[in-house]
Amino acid sequence: MTRRMLIAGNWKMHGLRSDLGFFDQLEPQAALAAAAGVDVLVCPPATLLAPVAGHCGDSAILIGAQDCHTNSSGAHTGDVSAGMVRDAGAGYVILGHSERRSDHGETSALVCAKAEAAIMAGLIPIICVGETREQREAGEAFGIVGAQLAASLPAAARMAVIAYEPVWAIGTGLTASPSDVAQMHAFIRTRLPRPAGTRILYGGSVKPGNAGELMALDDVDGALVGGASLDIGQFGAIIDAAIHGCAAQ
């Protein structure tokens, strides 16, 4: 089964309405990427979901959120439901990012419940898994990632995307070696209910300088990009690497 490459930008807690011009610059490249078999996704903060979706209209740029609640509505001050995310114009949602797991104490069981809510609302969840440096150095990386995956992925998640993000490589400038990435992605694929059809992204200080090498690996179907997705030059170069990778296949 052919899997389309996916380059997803996670803007985290960055972005104002004054930044909407970014998408005017991104749109022509996103259209070229789509024609080449590469999906381009941007996940802005919740405050920008509707403005970005409205600004992008029917362009090739896909829009996603960075989180959602497990419930469809209720007394949950400050939270946003999956239905609200969908209503704002998003088609994807990042769930279980290491910053959510660490900053908010999110468990894999909670991530699974959020993924189920996302699927029910018509969203495609991007479920994040990854180990800390201490866990990797202790030889526990595969056990940790396997356990997170098993507990975070709903049984009905036919269209889910998996993002492997070694926690020690997020925002640090460090990147897992191609060998480490290849081994972990191959391991993750063996644990998936739909191994041939599920996209697995790599996330962890993805830059223009390493994107081509990473996305040339057999089981890497794209990237979850953090800081570099805020810069049109860097993000564009990463998208170019994915386009060239598809052309070389």
- Place 1 in a pLDDT band, splitting at 50, 70 and 90: low
Domains of the chain with bracketed CATH? 24-35+124-248 (3.20.20.70)
pLDDT at 236 over 60: yes
Q: What is residue 196's predicted lDDT score, i.e. its pLDDT? A: 93
More confident residue, 246 or 35: 35
Express each pLDDT in 77-104 by its tens digit: 999 999 999 999 999 999 999 999 999 9
**C-alpha span between 136 and 167 (Å, rounded):** 10
pLDDT at res. 175:
76
Which position has the token pair 């070229």?
Answer: 32
Instruction: Decide which of 115 and 245 is more confident.
Output: 115
The rounded distance, in Å, linking the Cα atoms of 209 and 238 is 8
pLDDT of 99-156, one tens digit each? 999 999 999 999 999 999 999 999 999 999 999 999 999 999 999 999 999 999 998 7
Half-sphere exposure of 115 (CA within 13 A, CB side): 29
pLDDT value of position 170: 83
If phi over 0 gives left and psi between -120 and 50 gives alpha, with beta otherwise, what is residue 130?
left
Q: Please state the pTM of the whole predicted model.
A: 0.97
Measured at the CA of 241, the angle between CA 49 and CA 166, to 5 degrees, comes to 65
Give the per-residue pLDDT at 93.
98
Mapped onto helix, strand or coil, the DSSP state of residue 8 is strand
The whole-number pLDDT of residue 143 equals 98
pLDDT at 173: 81
pLDDT band with cut points at 50, 70 and 90 for residue 2: confident
Going along 92-225, which residue ranges are E strands? 92-95, 124-129, 161-164, 200-203, 222-225
Name residue 141's amino acid: A
Q: What is the pLDDT of residues 170-209, one digit of tens each?
A: 888 877 899 999 999 999 999 999 999 999 999 988 999 9
List the catalytic residues. Answer: 97, 165
pLDDT digits (tens, 9 = 90+) for 36-54: 999 999 999 999 999 999 9
Helices and strands: H and E segment counts in the chain: 10, 8
**Cα separation of 122 and 107, whole Å?**
23
pLDDT average, residue stretch 59-66:
98
**Range 198-231 burial, b when 16+ CB lie within 10 A, else e:** bbbbbbbbbbbebbbebbebebbbbbbbbbbbbe
Q: Which of the four pLDDT bands, split at 50, 70 and 90, describes residue 64?
A: very high
